[in-house]
Structure 1
Amino acid sequence: MAGMNGGRQTVDDKRRTTMERLANPVWAALTSGQRHLARELGAMLHYEPDVAPFCAVPEDGMFVPEHDLARLGGDVYFVGAIPAVPEGWQLNELGGVLQMVYRGGPVAPPPGEGIAELDALDPAMQALTAIAFPGYFRARTGTMGRYLGIHDAGRLIALCGERMDFGTLREVSAVCTHPGYTGRGHARLLVQHIMHGMQRQGVTPMLHVGARNGRAIALYEALGFERNGVLRHARLAARP
């Protein structure tokens, strides 16, 4: 019985740790699977600006002094844990972000025809994502994971890849299709490819999507993702 209880405690502890990491995803990534990408700034951790515009604090509401904020050098985004900042700094709350985690079974290998592995520094990725979510995909975001795309006459028209990495959990990201090519199943196919690749590595897919983006949420739920909760999302503007 002691062994069984100990096993149950271990499972519960792992579940609790996972939930804590999901509640502060940028911090979780920069202290685990992407520790090599982390840059320290006082109590904060952040990615290089040309990799991703995200910064993190270890706890929600933690006060960050002005001399650390001034060294960030530009606008940054916080997800989950939002800091307290000195008077004169502008921290703008954006729409909530719905976090979703894949809870389904094995993803069958999807059709591979027309799917291209993209170069990590392909500027076409930044150009396409600028239509859907400008400012989030940077020149070296493609180095954070694997990115796949679909082309039409040499033009990138759909994209999906991997961004934040917790080691056992990895984020499906940059899911976008050019407005002239929507409704053809491109996004679903690319997400399935990325999910399948993650599962082959023993990684659980997760993602973040605008809490009001009903169309995207419906797609992800159809693919087996479940809602894990809505996270706060804020942009810290550089002080004038």
Structure 2
Amino acid sequence: MRYPDDVAPFGSMPMNPTSDDWADLAGLTTMDDPAAMFVPQDFIVPAGWVTRLSLGLSQLTDDGVDTTGPRGADIVELGAAQVEAMLELTTLTRPGPFLRRTTVFGGYVGIREGGQLLAMAGRRLSMPGWVEVSAVCTHPAARGRGYAKRLTTEVVRDIRADGDRAFLHVAHGNPARSVYEAMGFVIRRDDLKVVDVARAENAPGPPSI
């Protein structure tokens, strides 16, 4: 399976995909429209495919995050009506894939000043009992004010209010990891990666593996 290409680039397959699974994914992707997946470090991309990105990740869960404080009055809800400002901020800060309809995942909050969106955070992938925190970013001119911590806490609060737990991914070497750990996030796995795979240009159809 794969999300619509204007929502998110992520796809999914079984943990030990067969040639039929790869053939299914081939029907949903092209060289210009790859699929991203969170996988173990030893995940093998077969012949007939091109790996455009392979980035090591840590996965953290919200075990010790304190959400008992009040919500700040300057935190606002974000959605489709604010998508242009959200796209502008994510293009500048590059927190990860954010597309025109990514807002359908819901739960986006931000901080504005003088009509400009300075920081945001929201939700992305979900499964029974768990929801991913994503798109945490702050305009360079507003860094150091604690906006990312406050907005991440607010997203976690809302996820818990729905009866779920929060998790997130952070790239190996990203200094944001220490911020998340200071908030109470706990490392669940250090051996993950995100891969961006596309059918090889010379593969005319679903590959035979």
**TM-score of the aligned structures, taking structure 2 as reference length:** 0.83
Structure with a larger share of its residues in helix: 1
Whether the 8 Å CA contact 2:119–2:139 is kept in 1: the answer is yes
Give, as a single letter, the amino acid of the residue that structure 2 aligns with 1:209: V
Deviation of the 1:132 alpha carbon = 2.5
Partner-residue secondary structure (3-state), 1:123: helix
CA deviation digits over 1:212-236, x for unaligned, max 9?
A: 102x111111111000113121111
Distance 2:28 2:162 in 1: 37
Change (3 A) 1:86 1:115: same
Change (3 A) 1:223 1:75: same
Change (3 A) 1:185 1:96: same
Partner residue, 1:27: none
Q: CA RMSD in A?
A: 2.2
Query: Does 1:112 pair with 2:69?
Result: no
Distance 2:163 2:151 in 1: 19
Partner-residue secondary structure (3-state), 1:108: coil
Change (3 A) 1:105 1:93: closer
Change (3 A) 1:68 1:98: closer
Matches within 5 A, 1:225-236: 225-230=185-190, 231-236=192-197
User: Which of the pair has the greater relative contact order for Cα pairs under 8 Å at 6+ separation?
Assistant: 2
CA deviation digits over 1:173-217, x for unaligned, max 9?
A: 100001111001110111111111112222111101112102x11
Change (3 A) 1:113 1:68: closer
Query: Displaced runs of 4+ in structure 1, greater than 6 A?
Result: none
Partner residue, 1:72: 29
Distance 1:110 1:172 in 2: 19
Partner-residue secondary structure (3-state), 2:55: coil
Partner residue, 1:56: 12
Matches within 5 A, 1:48-197: 48-60=4-16, 62-63=18-19, 64-65=21-22, 68-69=25-26, 71-73=28-30, 74-80=33-39, 82=43, 84-87=45-48, 89-104=49-64, 107-120=67-80, 122-133=83-94, 136-197=97-158
Structure 1: runs of 5+ lacking an equivalent: 1-44
Match of residue 181, structure 2, among 221, 225, 228: 221
Percent of matched pairs sharing the same residue: 32
Give, as a single letter, the amino acid of the residue that structure 2 aligns with 1:52: A
Q: How many residues align?
A: 194
Change (3 A) 1:135 1:217: closer
Structure with a larger share of its residues in strand: 2
**TM-score of the aligned structures, taking structure 1 as reference length:** 0.73
